[in-house]
Copies of this chain bind each other. A is one copy, B any other.
């Protein structure tokens, strides 16, 4: 789950993108890795070249959260700055019908009041190790399932090697495929498994304007929160961190964003983009829309229903809007033509060079063929494996338990991704974290999943027959969810400890159901991996190689939810003759408020109106190239100080999954100045303000 709050989208023409993009990154474009950051390019444009020391300091202060967000350390005692919406899962987890922190906000005025966020982890990228040769060597000459298996084994080995001898509770290692197979690198992380909530504003402030204003700018949103990393029951101490400042950057000032953009598709081939446009996005959006309707209606049933379903609806609407923007971008013929031209240019360069041609071959045709296969396998793969169970968390719990029991009996190299020893350990940590389970919602999720699976795969599909037997989706969902004991952490623990024997002996209906359907899910997964993923990955390595040869190092990899650095400047934009300024002011929130959801301001803000400096810059627009997953990233000035927290992109940036248009795409941050103003004048959180200012 990559979190980034989306923007408001208007009708048609907003998505008509006319800028011509080329294969080499234009000014301000790029989500660069820290080990290949184009400092000279930045110097050329802005007169400042980040050096190794500067880069190291940022890297060591940047934090990735297990909620799919980015963040940064902002005090030596492990205080973490991120977004309101990145802590929203945590406040939902620690809220109940009596204490609704999601609605009312949360402030710990003393450290003892800081509350554990169940299952949340924070981590810092500590080291990058290039393993490209090892991985490529291991897969040499192999294809299809053999390729996938060999790569999986080589990745597992590289991860184990890189983390050898380290405390598994404090470190973990991931192989990252960069440039879609152009490079393979191990990213080693320092992990913090105890993260606590320090400050979260009210929903009506953190998400003022709600879904209608999401991805909109001008914006008036205190989308920020503070967490703290703990170890051994105490705040960590002496961590490297960014310096806090309330100095507001000026128009055209150079600013950086250090964070973890989740996923982009900029290096995908045209046939892959067509697949997304014609199959993946419309299907998922239609299913999402229906679930959105169900949750909305459910929330109308009562206050407690509204509280319980608030979090899931927020996530759903956020994804919906972001992907609607992606659909619109791909459906725009001008936008699509740009991507087609890019590809044609690269292929022309390859074909014009016989030696290169011989080396590269025709990976595009391989991908074309794989996308044909993908059309046949996508629906069963998506419904049975990738998105099985919809929003039912218990479905996920059962699946993880059943798979962990099966996988841990195999040698490491043969296991499914995510089920290495380290992976299972992490899984157990997540499964045993005390998050609330709401059975009504679980039933909605499971029923929707079964019903849509039946709709898209057909009643006569053998998969559907296995799932439903003679039951209706409604009856099946009720029976499984009302009957399961997997909401009890002790039951989970017993099954995890008991391994395969315990799982096979279980009479829990959800475990029994999972044992019944998992063989088919594994089968479709393996078909998809062997017939779609493997040939695509292999061909993508060739496309990446062609791109390096044709354009040199002046390219950046697609986003992979790993640490990147983007540079840009503070500025608004001009669209259809309208100038949108770079800053909003705190007073603007009072002007936009109507008193009706989602445009009613929190009572605390209404009460403090006379105390607030209404002219203080609130939200900031910058040209940084970001995407979902960057939420919570620090906005950094050239002195390396944090001046804001990125929380959104503007509406034009929604096409950023596929291409960056520097004239229109903007990142939106909340200023540190407004955060401090609110902490001081509204929340009386002098303890946090003092800590931020190193006192």
Instruction: Give the B-binding residues of A (Cβ under 8 A).
Output: 8-13, 209, 211-213, 216, 278-279, 282, 285-287, 289-298, 300-301, 324, 327, 331, 375-376, 378-380, 444, 448, 454-459, 470-472, 474-475, 594-598
Please pick, from B8, B294, B324, the residue contacting A294 in the complex, using a CB distance under 8 A. Answer: B294
Residue of B nearest to A457 (CB): B11
In whole Å, how far is A445's beta carbon from the nearest beta carbon of chain B?
12
Q: Which residues does chain B contribute within 8 Å of A289, judged by CB atoms?
A: 286-287, 289-290, 293
Contact A293 B297 (CB under 8 A): yes
On whether the beta carbons of A459 and B376 are closer than 8 Å, the reply is no
Q: Are A13 and B375 in contact (CB under 8 A)?
A: yes
> A376 near B13 (CB under 8 angstroms)?
yes
Given contacts A297-B298, A596-B472, contact A12 B458 (CB under 8 A): no
B8-A459 in contact (CB<8A): yes
Partner of A596, one of B296, B300, B331, B470: B470
Of A285, A300, A595, most buried by chain B (CB within 10 Å of CB) is A300
**How distant is the Cα of A376 from the Cα of B13 in the complex, in angstroms?**
7
CA of A213 to CA of B379 in the docked complex: distance in angstroms?
18
CA distance A585 to B417 in the complex (A): 49
Please name 13 further chain A to chain B contacts, defined as beta carbons within 8 Å, in addition to the given A213-B459, A294-B294, A472-B596, sorted by A numbering. Answer: A10-B457, A11-B456, A216-B458, A282-B331, A286-B286, A286-B324, A287-B289, A290-B296, A292-B293, A293-B297, A293-B448, A295-B297, A300-B474
Say which residue of B8, B216, B298, B327 sits within 8 Å of A282 (CB atoms): B327
Give chain B residues whose Cβ lies under 8 Å from the Cβ of A290.
289-290, 292-293, 296
Bound Cα distance A209, B459 (Å): 9
> What chain B residues lie within 8 Å of A380 (beta carbons)?
11
Q: Which of B282, B291, B594 is in CB contact (< 8 Å) with A470?
A: B594
**Chain B CB within 10 Å, residue with most, of A11, A291, A295:** A11
Who on chain B is nearest to A448 by CB? B293
A selection of 14 A-B contacts at a CB cut-off of 8 Å is A9-B458, A10-B458, A11-B378, A12-B279, A12-B375, A213-B459, A216-B459, A282-B331, A285-B286, A294-B296, A300-B474, A301-B301, A470-B594, A475-B596
Complex CA–CA separation, A376 to B10 (angstroms): 10
How far is A595 from B290 in the complex, measured between Cα atoms in Å?
A: 26
B458 touches A8 (CB 8 A): yes
Given A294-B293, A297-B444, do A212 and B454 touch, yes or no (CB 8 Å)?
yes
For the complex, give the distance between the alpha carbons of A458 and B375 in Å. Answer: 34
Q: Closest residue to A9 on the B side, CB-wise?
A: B458
Cβ distance A482 to chain B, nearest Cβ, rounded Å? 14
Q: Which residue of B lies closest to A454 (CB)?
A: B212
CA separation between A286 and B597, bound complex, in Å?
23
Q: Pick the residue among B8, B293, B454 that contacts A293 (CB under 8 A).
A: B293
**Bound CA span A285–B294, Å:** 16
- Could you tell me if A455 and B211 are in contact, using CB atoms closer than 8 angstroms? yes
In the A-B complex, the 6 residue pairs with the closest CB atoms: A293-B293, A289-B289, A297-B297, A290-B293, A293-B294, A470-B594
Minimum distance in angstroms from A12 CB to a CB of chain B = 4
> How far, in whole Å, are A457 and B8 apart by their CA atoms in the complex?
10
Q: Which residues of B contact A12 (CB under 8 A)?
A: 279, 375-376, 378-379
Q: State the Cβ distance, A134 to closest chain B Cβ, in Å.
A: 38
| Distance in Å: Cβ of A320 to nearest Cβ of chain B | 9
A448 neighbours in B (Cβ, 8 Å): 293
Shortest distance in angstroms between A288's beta carbon and chain B's nearest beta carbon?
A: 8
Residues in B neighbouring A459, C-beta threshold 8 A: 8, 209, 212-213, 216
B contact residues around A300 at 8 Å (CB): 474
Q: How many angstroms from the CA of A419 to the CA of B598 in the assembled complex?
A: 40
